[in-house]
Amino acid sequence: MKNAKLSFREIREKQMISVAELARKAGVSTQTITRIESGGPCRMDTMRKIILALGYSVEDKDLIFGSNR
């Protein structure tokens, strides 16, 4: 288990990845990353892209986005 109990933003910051860099790696807009970090909605496909861009596997979804998504 990587970074259990850390928020999505904390995981990104711990890896020293900017919003712009994560957006580029995931193939989404910076506005999308900012919206999701603020608790906004996120489609399953977008979650998958972000998880993989952070270097995690899809099975780690709950660690990154919490179990309520």
Q: What is the pTM of this model?
A: 0.85
Cα torsion through 11, 23, 51, 33, rounded to 10: 70
We report the CATH number of the domain holding residue 19 as 1.10.260.40
Phi and psi, residue 55, nearest 5°: 90, 15
Question: In the chain, how many domains are there?
Answer: 1
Look up the domain containing 26 and give its range: 8-56
Specify the pLDDT at position 6.
67
In a domain, 30, yes or no: yes
Residues 6+ apart with CB under 8 A from 47: 61, 64, 65, 69
Question: What are the pLDDT digits (tens) for 1-53?
Answer: 444 456 889 999 999 999 999 999 999 999 999 999 988 999 999 999 999 99
**Above 90 in pLDDT, residue 58?**
yes
